Amino acid sequence: MDAAVQGEVEGEVDDAERTIEAELLDLVEAEAAEAEAVEVEAQAGAEAVGAEAEADSDLAVVTRERDEYLDALRRLQADFDNFRKRVQRQQQDVVARAAEQVVTALLPALDAFDLAESHLAGDESVSPGGLLQAAALLRDTLAKEGLERVAEAGDLFDPTAHQAVEHVEGDGEDGPLVDTVLRPGYRWKGRVVRPAMVKVRG
């Protein structure tokens, strides 16, 4: 082979090698740039995932605190409702006890009216009109408020409402009965405030 041709072929081979090396270098640089871009994108994705996870964590904390506050508020509201109801019951009890004490204090006045009426009933020279009206007014007023008289002659003896102070013989077929009421008893709104003093038959 001629030296000139051989030099030309070697020059072309060298040019081809340089071209290939340049292309390989460009390809390696492009792949490196692409790999760097992928790494940057992956890092950005990881940061986004981390930020989302942190946001989820913050949301969970806020939700838990909200639920705790709501539970505390519900408990406080229930405690307040119970307190309000208890205070209302206590006030009602205080009012009921005060009214019962007033009624109990008036029972001797009712006894005095009963005694006066029984004495005046046999005396035709005295007109007990005003006294009878006052007694009836007092009894009616107290009855409307919840006072009821306990024991009449012929009632079945009830040891929770009657106090037996004397016993007389009877047939005993109907059980012990109230024979005579010596002092009337009273109930205030269903509760015995003074038992009736009675004579029991049977």
pLDDT for 140-167, tens place per residue?
Answer: 999 998 899 987 887 888 888 888 888 8
pLDDT at 89: 94
Assess whether 83 and 22 both reside in one domain: yes
Assess whether 29 and 87 both reside in one domain: yes
pLDDT at 44: 77
Specify the CATH number for the domain of residue 179: 2.30.22.10
Report CA torsion sign: 152, 154, 155, 161: positive
Distance CA 195, CA 158 (A): 10
Distance CA 91, CA 85 (A): 10
Domain containing residue 200 = 148-202
Assess whether 29 and 85 both reside in one domain: yes
Decide if 195 is inside a domain.
yes
Domain C-terminal end among 103, 134, 157 = 103
- Convert the pLDDT of each residue in 100-122 to its tens digit: 899 899 999 988 888 888 877 66
Assess whether 99 and 180 both reside in one domain: no
Decide if 142 is inside a domain.
no
pLDDT at 29: 81
Assess whether 162 and 86 both reside in one domain: no
Assess whether 159 and 93 both reside in one domain: no
Q: From the CB of residue 66, how many other CB atoms can be counted at a distance below 10 Å?
A: 10
Give the residues across from 181 on adjacent strands: 198
Decide if 177 is inside a domain.
yes
Decide if 69 is inside a domain.
yes
pLDDT at 5: 57
Number of structural domains (the chain) is 2
Q: What is the pTM of this model?
A: 0.55
Decide if 130 is inside a domain.
no
- 128 Cβ partners below 8 Å, 6+ apart? 116, 117, 120, 121
Weakly modelled stretches of the chain, pLDDT under 50: none
Phi then psi for 177, rounded to 5 degrees?
A: -120, 155
Assess whether 98 and 166 both reside in one domain: no
Distance CA 124, CA 130 (A): 15
pLDDT at 45: 72
Domain C-terminal end among 68, 86, 103 = 103
**Location of structure tokens 């994108």:** 41
